A and B are shown apart, each in its own frame.
Chain A
Amino acid sequence: MTDAREPLLTVEQLHVSYGSIVAVRDLDLEVFPGEIVTLLGPNGAGKSSTLNAIMGCTRASANAIRFDGADVRDEPVERRVRRGMALSPEGRQVFENLTVMENLRLGGASQGKAHGGPAAFDEVTELFPILRDRRDQQAGTLSGGQQQQLAIARALMSRPRLVLLDEPSLGLAPTIVDAIFELIAKLHDRGITIVLVEQNVTRSLEIADRGYVLEGGRVVMSGTAAELHEAGDELVGAYLGIGG
């Protein structure tokens, strides 16, 4: 069904290495508009490296990284952001010495005053009421869950069409994890396309349309969320690093 449409993001033969260590090899990936696609796999499987390469934060080689029909391979991060891509990085990485408001303002900086300003702030904080209450608080003093919300909100301030979320539930209490996944579902309802990197396999497959399982920098399995769910045992094998 999705095949009839043009993918929003196409990655062909992605290769990422740090010195002599190969993090990602021969990775192909397609994301269609409106989808949630999840990247699963054990630590060090290359999930974060893949997201960073898509965004241009890491040096990488690929046959193509196409976003909305344009090859962005040689473009710097900032131009990719202006095209409508955004990354909420692993470990949240909010600007700790800046206030919540200042963090969000920088998130919208690429959009100019007309789009990144108060209108975007209202729109985004509608999803994150806590951030509105804490707008003048230093981001470093927020709780982990609040910082994660801020990291996602900051990514949304540029009004992206594609959001890459790197381990948004990492290190958060179970109730907060629930809230974060609810939030991702809400973003999906708003028509935002999402690539979700997660350790939490079950929760991810619950909300995702499709998924890729990575191990040792390669895709070892891919399919719809239902297919991957059925392949549960094999998936666990890949996770523990003994199968696949």
Chain B
Amino acid sequence: MTDFLQQVINAISLGGTYALLALGLAIVFSIFGLINFAHGDLMTIAGYTIFFSLQAGMPFLLAALLGVLAAGVAAVLMERVAFRPLRGEGVPTLLLASLAVSIILQTLFQTLISARPKAIPTPSVLTSTVSIGSLNIAVVQIVSIGVTLMLLAALSWCLRKTTLGIAMRAAADNFPVVRLMGINANRVIAMAFFVSGILAGAAAVLWVAARGSVEPAMGLLPMFKAFIAAILGGLGSLSGAVVGGFALGAIEIAFQALLPESLGRYQDALIFVAVILVLVWRPNGLVGTGHDNGIRLKISRLRRRGGGRSEAEAAS
């Protein structure tokens, strides 16, 4: 029983990190039609910001906040520099552009900082454990779960109660008409990127706190996992991204706990098989419906409305 509870906590804390990342991917995709392969590099930016802030003698909490903020600002800059000129260009172009951004950033980290991991000393509070009955829980996991739930709640509130948040949901539904409401398109998109960056930054803090180092390709693996989580939940659906994140966390932990040691090295392959089986069962993802899912639908919608391109040009 204790063992089981321990695994549940592991699943929630790992799944929560995936959920934050997947949600960031989904917000940008649903509004902009971009699968941002540079999303993981926002994590890395947050990681290095934390590293250098700690080097400068700042307390961990302040360094973490700066890291989150840096990821948010970097996401906005990314959109401004790399994606805005391509707005409305279609999914493949945007996807390749984000891949280019990712490669450029990773090369910069390698040449300007170091190809090797930099240690980030986590405060001893985080590495300690608390005992509840016979259960030993790492503080970092409690913090991780708490931060994730708080962020999800705050974001959900913003998306429902603030005009900009409602506009972001509407933009996922029908972007051209949002502009007809007199709402500045650039502001909605910049906000979407900022939120996705903040979420990536928060995920980076949790990631770094659990692993204790940062390296140029740090964001790569979690970004792929988040991408899988977003598809698992239903690409383009925000609630789907969260569900997909937690589901992937649960699948991973279950395989870790249940697989016999001899099969241990096939773990990732088996996880992907499980994900594929889920998608065979529900092709639009766990939450996704035919409506807000599907890249094809999105493009045809843009074309039907007189072409995304002219709209994009009018916006800039």
Contacts and interface: CB of A to CB of B under 8 A. Distances in A.
A233 B2 CA distance: 86
B195 to A, nearest CB: 18
What secondary structure prevails in chain B residues at the interface with A? Answer: helix
A98 B315 contact: no
B307 A81 contact: no
A173 B313 CA distance: 38
Given A52-B306, A78-B185, A106-B163, A57 B169 contact: no
A97 B239 CA distance: 13
Contacts of A122: none
B74 to A, nearest CB: 26
Interface in B164-197: 166-167, 169-170, 172-174, 176-185
Interface size class of chain B, counting residues whose CB lies under 8 Å from the partner chain: 20 to 34
A60 to B, nearest CB: 9
Interface stretch (A30-38, A88-96, A213-221): A88-96
Contacts of A77: 179-180, 182, 314
Nearest to B184: A78
A82 interface: yes
A111 B292 CA distance: 29
Given A18-B306, A57-B306, A97-B292, A109 B181 contact: yes
B182 A59 contact: no
B302 to A, nearest CB: 13
A105 B306 contact: no
A51 to B, nearest CB: 11
Nearest to B316: A76
A81 B180 contact: yes
Interface string B249-268: 00000000000000000000
B310 interface: yes
Interface string A179-208: 000000000000000000000000000000
Interface in A62-93: 76-78, 81-82, 86-87, 89, 93
B89 interface: no
B177 A93 contact: yes
17 contacts: A77-B314, A81-B182, A86-B180, A95-B170, A95-B173, A95-B174, A97-B169, A97-B173, A98-B166, A98-B170, A103-B170, A105-B163, A106-B167, A106-B183, A109-B163, A111-B182, A158-B182
Interface of A: 18, 52, 55-59, 76-78, 81-82, 86-87, 89, 93, 95-98, 102-103, 105-107, 109-111, 154, 158
